[in-house]
Amino acid sequence: MATTIKKLRRQGHSVEDIELARQIQDGARQQGAPVRSLYEILNGLPARARPSAPPEDLTVRQLRKRGVYGQAAILVDQAALTEKNTAKAQKARDASTALKELAEREQLEFDLFRGNVMTADEYHDAIRARLMASRATPARRAIALATLQEIKRWLGWQSFTCTKTAADLCDLLGFDKVTMSDTLALLEEIGAITRVKRGRIKDITVTPEGAFRGDLMKHADQVRRYKSEVVDLASRR
């Protein structure tokens, strides 16, 4: 862990000594010699051994989450770790700092890119039309839509199963058990959700053709799983 300037001052080193140590660091960088830390210079210690293990490769998802500038910053950081020329390594770290500043997203309040669920327009329109065609009152229809939105919010990653139970949804939405039971029954009746019994509870599932959270490259696999694990089971009841 790097020693801060404040800690060096508490140890009794003057501002002039610290500035002189920085000049020694700059001279070492220009000569391509190993650069000691301020603590090592001020205490007359030799440069400690730095790790030389090669950096690990990043996954495609890790890179994509950071954007173009963020990806460039990570790659430059990795290059700096393996650069033997200390002057070049310092320039690489400076460039990485600038790239990280460019990568920072301007955000007012909400993060649009975090864990969002994709909802098909056809699914949304079909559920709305089926609710309108049902005998449910406007209040029940509104509660059903709010509940469905919350169910989609808690879909597991690359899964068609909601990670919340009916009791959890009651707590999140402030509904009583009777209202939630009635609402889930209505949503299941119109085909918005399917409930699958698992032990003493029922999993709430949503067709991945209507709402999906995960890697689009694996979407077809989840659709096939849903048809075999949910549709077939529901048809046998």
User: Could you give all domains of the chain from N- to C-terminal order, each with its CATH number?
Assistant: 5-45+57-102 (no CATH), 120-236 (1.10.10.10)
Q: pTM of the predicted model, to two decimals? A: 0.57
Relative to beta strand 194-198, strand 201-205 is antiparallel
Q: How far is CA 63 from CA 57, 81, 164, in A?
A: 10, 18, 30
10 in helix, strand or coil?
helix
More reliable by pLDDT, 41 or 172: 172
Of the listed ranges 136-140, 143-147, 231-235, the least confidently predicted one is: 231-235
pLDDT, tens digit, 9 for 90 and up, residues 184-228: 999 999 999 999 988 888 999 999 999 999 888 889 999 999 998
* 122 pLDDT more than 90: yes
